[in-house]
Structure 1
Amino acid sequence: MPVSEERSVSSPLLELPGAIANPDDSPDHGVAWHFGDPFGEQRTAARSAAVLDRSHRGVVAVTGDDRCSWLNLLTSQLLTELPEGSGTEALVLDSHGRVEHHAVLAHLNRTVYLDNEPGRAEPLREYLESMKFWSAVETSIAELGVLTLLGPEVGGLVDFELPDEPYAVRELPGGQGLVRAMPGSYDLLVPRAELADWWRRITEAGVRPTGTWTYEALRVEALRPRLGVDTDERTIPHEARWVPSAVHLNKGCYRGQETVSKVQNVGQPPRRLMLLHLDGSPEVLPQTGDPVLSGTKTVGRVGTVITHHELGPIALALLKRSAPVDGELIAGAEDRAIQAAVDPDSVPAEHVAPGKAAAAALRGK
């Protein structure tokens, strides 16, 4: 698959009939927001089959004999045993255990592909390059774009085979690209020059075009965080529910591991990612980064804010452990401040730190 430098351009699929672009200030600027019926598109994605353009994401390619063992040293995930035809998620942490990068991986044809948030592929590649030393690896920006398939009926419509298990990876017909199963969806990584051809092939099979509004609404409902939107510069993996999906708790040393181990074994995360239901009567909604208040006290931070086809206006929020989860909250700043309530099903189970449990057992003897 050819590679080139990362580019920041609008997707050619924005020229399709009915495509409505994301606002300029959106993290998804450059791809379609919706195709004229966002709630109908969400219902189709939840019940039938839909496709959306996520080609604004960047893809880093890592080749060379040491690719897996080298990436294993630099990330939170166990990658020495990542076989061909499989994928996973991984984080790059700083020395304090705070999340710097989140990537979704696919290993195929002796190459590990790491796709990540818009604008973050080149910074990730630069970091990886700085850590090469004597390892037999090469890094580049892959000229691949991401298309995502959603819905329970999508496998019966497309004319190529989809992987059966989450994070399994298959080569696409013709050997130019791959498809990776994700929890609740499928990602296609295809040559950017062929984005329109693949879109046409999929939609002509009966899969409905949709945009990022649909993807974001279903992602928020599923409590899946997004780096830089649902996280801030202080976020550690446990706070954002990236344990265990992107963090292996029984692997060798990597930068930031001490924080992960300490929280897992003897502590609790200071914040927790939860779903907020927002008051839909005002015409305004809070924005990403706005505070969440209990009375006059700031107890959290608003992440993704979206209107869901069934749940109405909802948001992800990082809330302090001390934040009340059964009382009224206020989300937003200034004239955007509205009533909010924590979805009780989104409150995570209390983490049992094995180190504390062992110490308590010893004290009880």
Structure 2
Amino acid sequence: MTEATRGPGDPGVPAHYGNPLREQRVLDAGKALVDLSTRTVLELRGEDRLTWLNSITSGLVTALAVGDSGETLVLSPQGRIEHAAGLIDDGVSLWLLPESSSAEALVSWLLKMRFRARVEILDRTEDLAVIGLLERDGGIALEALPAAAPNGVPLIWRDPWTHVVDGGWQYSRPETHPGVDFTWREVLVPRSALAEVAAAHPAAGSLAAEALRVAAWRPRELSEVDDHAIPHETDWLRSAVHLNKGCYRGQETIAKVHNLGHPPRRFVQLHLDGSEGFLPEPGAEIRAFRDGEPRIVGKVTSVANHYEFGPIALGLIRRAVDPAIELEVARPVGENEEPGWLAAAQEIIVPSDAGSVADIPRLPRIGGRRA
């Protein structure tokens, strides 16, 4: 690995090593690794680890067999997303891979919810480092990486975004979902072996990893979650929510919006005008014109310059925005520059009619006419 350039992207992770677009190609071919060693690694020990976490989060954690991977969300009582975490169970411990930016708050909440459950929560970040890659034919073999296996099972997280998990639901309706090819893996290696792994394989920065994630429509807590986010808006029911597993915090909102309502915002991919050489910032406003007047209808959540698609972004916009109209995104404004806007064509991820899947028959009105 050559010297890294730090910049926008995963906090604390090298943004690129000199050529982000080339790094994307190599990463997409499965022949490069991403240094995610600043990510937090948590270990849950104890015989209640699966049933306990299952009872307080959105995923069907009890379905994890030895060596299985999964994903779960911590929701507020109102169903808003507070945390997301990847899961690996090795038969003895359940390993959690949360966002480092909110890991401390997650651990604090888990400790408060433990009560009499036989669970021990340990931070193993100092012992284990995370490296990311796409698993491809002809790429770096997972078996060639020194995955940690403290209980005899290699700790490899396989992102479930490639398919709709058992009990999940997909709102997006493309013939081929781009997530099918997003075979993302995160391998936990002993931190003492990180330098050896880095020396043996080409490196890609976080900008490359983010571009491939954005192209796959894959949401993440760091980017797509704000104080109002619910899983339906970003199609996260696809990989992290089980709709029929029983009660957990926030479950009422999950069921109500899915069966009877609609999410207030919808997820879109934006294909941006790249002629000006600008990329918007995450959080940039999205506007649409109605009756000739511009109106703010949402915000950008993630931005990338893709090696094939060019400038792309993910965004959350109001559900009622016409899917056929073009949008505009606020571009960065430098010193002595006038505010400007970039044209953005929207590609629908979550349609405006998402939700309301329950087939509830209409009851006849009292006093109504009979045939």
TM-score (normalizing by structure 2): 0.82
Tell me, in whole angstroms, the C-alpha distance in 2 between the residues paired with 1:140 and 1:129: 11
Superposed displacement of residue 276, structure 1: 0.2
SS of 2:66's equivalent? coil
> Partner residue of 1:8?
none
- From 89, 110, 118, the equivalent of 2:100 is 118
Contact 1:67 1:112 in 2 (8 A): yes
Structure 1 residue 359 corresponds to structure 2 residue 361: yes
Pair 49,361 (structure 1): closer, same or farther in 2 beyond 3 Å: farther
SS of 1:260's equivalent? helix
- From 255, 269, 292, the equivalent of 2:263 is 269
> Partner residue of 2:178?
none
- From 133, 139, 147, the equivalent of 1:149 is 133
- From 124, 146, 158, the equivalent of 2:141 is 158
Superposed displacement of residue 55, structure 1: 1.6
- From 308, 311, 323, the equivalent of 2:309 is 311
Superposed displacement of residue 120, structure 1: 1.7
Tell me, in whole angstroms, the C-alpha distance in 1 between the residues paired with 2:283 and 2:197: 36
> Partner residue of 2:45?
63
Look up the equivalent residue of 1:341 and give its one-letter code: A
1:117-149 CA deviation, whole Å, 9 max, x = no partner?
122222111110011111110101112221012
Gaps of 5+ in 2: 163-182, 334-338
Pair 28,145 (structure 1): closer, same or farther in 2 beyond 3 Å: same
Superposed displacement of residue 352, structure 1: 5.3
Contact 2:17 2:203 in 1 (8 A): yes
Contact 2:67 2:155 in 1 (8 A): no
Tell me, in whole angstroms, the C-alpha distance in 1 between the residues paired with 2:26 and 2:13: 19
Contact 1:285 1:336 in 2 (8 A): no
1:53-84 CA deviation, whole Å, 9 max, x = no partner?
11222122111110001101110011123222
Output aligned runs, 1:212-361, within 5 Å: 212-295=206-289, 296-332=294-330, 335=339, 337-344=341-348, 346=349, 348=351, 350-351=353-354, 353-355=356-358, 357-360=359-362
Superposed displacement of residue 47, structure 1: 3.2
What is the percent sequence identity of the aligned residues? 39
Contact 2:58 2:74 in 1 (8 A): yes
Q: CA RMSD in A?
A: 2.6
Tell me, in whole angstroms, the C-alpha distance in 2 between the residues paired with 1:93 and 1:268: 18
Contact 2:268 2:346 in 1 (8 A): yes
Tell me, in whole angstroms, the C-alpha distance in 2 between the residues paired with 1:153 and 1:359: 50
Pair 266,362 (structure 1): closer, same or farther in 2 beyond 3 Å: farther
SS of 1:322's equivalent? coil
Superposed displacement of residue 151, structure 1: 5.0
> Partner residue of 1:6?
none
1:240-262 CA deviation, whole Å, 9 max, x = no partner?
21103100000121111111000
- From 138, 145, 163, the equivalent of 2:120 is 138
Output aligned runs, 1:1-12, within 5 Å: none
Judge which range, 183-192 or 58-67, deviates more. 183-192
Structure 1 residue 52 corresponds to structure 2 residue 42: no
Contact 1:299 1:322 in 2 (8 A): no
Superposed displacement of residue 341, structure 1: 1.1
Contact 1:32 1:53 in 2 (8 A): yes
**Matched residue pairs, number?**
332
Pair 17,362 (structure 1): closer, same or farther in 2 beyond 3 Å: farther
Pair 360,37 (structure 1): closer, same or farther in 2 beyond 3 Å: farther
Tell me, in whole angstroms, the C-alpha distance in 1 between the residues paired with 2:214 and 2:313: 7
Pair 54,336 (structure 1): closer, same or farther in 2 beyond 3 Å: farther
> Partner residue of 1:179?
156
SS of 2:24's equivalent? helix
Contact 2:65 2:91 in 1 (8 A): no
Tell me, in whole angstroms, the C-alpha distance in 1 between the residues paired with 2:124 and 2:350: 38
> Partner residue of 1:188?
187
Tell me, in whole angstroms, the C-alpha distance in 1 between the residues paired with 2:9 and 2:347: 25
TM-score (normalizing by structure 1): 0.84
Tell me, in whole angstroms, the C-alpha distance in 1 between the residues paired with 2:154 and 2:195: 14
> Partner residue of 2:336?
none
Look up the equivalent residue of 1:34 and give its one-letter code: H
- From 40, 65, 90, the equivalent of 1:108 is 90
